[in-house]
Amino acid sequence: MRSRQRMFAAVMRLLLKCLRLGQRRRRFKLVRQAEQLWHYGHLCLRSLLYNSFTNGDVVLDSLFEPVYWLVDHVTRWFGVVFVALVIGLTSSIVAIVYICLLPLILQTYTPAWICWHLAYGHWNLIMIVFHYYMAITTSPGHPPQAKDDLTGVSICRKCIAPKPARTHHCSICNRCVLKMDHHCPWLNNCVGHYNHRYFFSFCLFMTMGCIYCSISGWEMFRDAYAAIERMKLLEKERLQVAANQTYYQTPPPTFSFRQRAFHKSVVYLWVLCSSVALALGALTLWHAALITRGETSIERHINKKEKQRLQKKGKIFRNPYSYGSWDNWKVFLGVDVPRHWLTRVLLPSPHLPHGTGLSWDLPRCVMEQRTPLLAI
């Protein structure tokens, strides 16, 4: 009996040892699996974030990616509001000029000055309206989706489509744009190959129009501002007289609603035109400098980094899309013959730019100048 009990106790002890050993093995196996998962996750994270070209700019762009996303979506939804704002402000200035300033010009100026103001003002207005309409309605140009149509192009990593030279992806339009300069919220459209000239011409003529209104209305602005200050002073005196009025005192005369509206409209016109002339004039000069160098806003940053990279190697960077300052302007404006300066620059013209935006061959106007003359 005792021998059976001893045998049973020995078997039970053996089973307990096996169970403990199994539990230890299972724990060790779980620990090993957890360590393997940790190392695998760490390796995947490093493989996703690893980039041999990573620098401070890349890290900063990654940190600001949520801000970029928010700005892109706000710009996309508020583009129509910005366009309506441009049209509303421009229309208000034109209405003030016709209602308030034009009658004064016709009454006080000489016939020669009247002809000048009428001719220049209406020409400038036509150029502004034409180029703004063309800039917002003309597509900037997009590359074809079929890769067979293009040779020697890269692939856009965002839309997985062919990406020709000078083409960039617009995160707001969510597609690639030929010769993209930037996305303009005031146009609710991208500025690219086919509407770049319209955008710059609109900025130029709008700046000229604002400068013209500011210079022409300077004297009227001074008189209107002085009249408004006089209105405020008389209104204050009228309130004081009304508070202490006696039978021997009469309140000072008040200005009519038409007079108040006239003076405030002149002040509003001059302040708005001067502000737009300063802001838009700076933007126009910046784009004029880019056109002179044969670059876009995006290419300016790319070429700057490429120039710094080649300087470290002792090499000189040359922009392959620049043909010289004068030729760059001729190519941008589409001037092939001298008469085009009148018909295509000083008058509204819907002519297409040089090239298709898919390839960048030497323009005809540049080839004719660079072709050597044969000796007779």
Catalytic residues: 184
Separation CA 119–CA 101 (nearest Å)? 15
* 190 burial via Cβ count (<10 Å: 0-12, 13-18, 19+): buried
- As given in the structure block, the two tokens for residue 217 are 């209305």
Number of Cβ within 10 Å of residue 241's Cβ equals 14
Query: Which residues are 154's β-sheet partners?
Result: 163
- Please name the helix (run of DSSP H) or strand (run of DSSP E) that holds residue 24, with its range, or none: helix 2-49
Question: Helices 111-137 & 196-216, crossing angle to 10 degrees?
Answer: 150
Separation CA 231–CA 260 (nearest Å)? 8
Separation CA 280–CA 203 (nearest Å)? 7
Separation CA 27–CA 16 (nearest Å)? 16
Number of residues that this document lists for the chain: 376
- Please name the helix (run of DSSP H) or strand (run of DSSP E) that holds residue 67, with its range, or none: helix 65-96
Separation CA 204–CA 234 (nearest Å)? 43
Phi, psi (5° rounding) for residue 375? -75, 140
Q: Are 80 and 188 within 8 A, CB to CB? A: yes
* 328 burial via Cβ count (<10 Å: 0-12, 13-18, 19+): buried
3-state secondary structure of 168: strand
Separation CA 91–CA 85 (nearest Å)? 10
Q: Are 169 and 159 within 8 A, CB to CB? A: yes
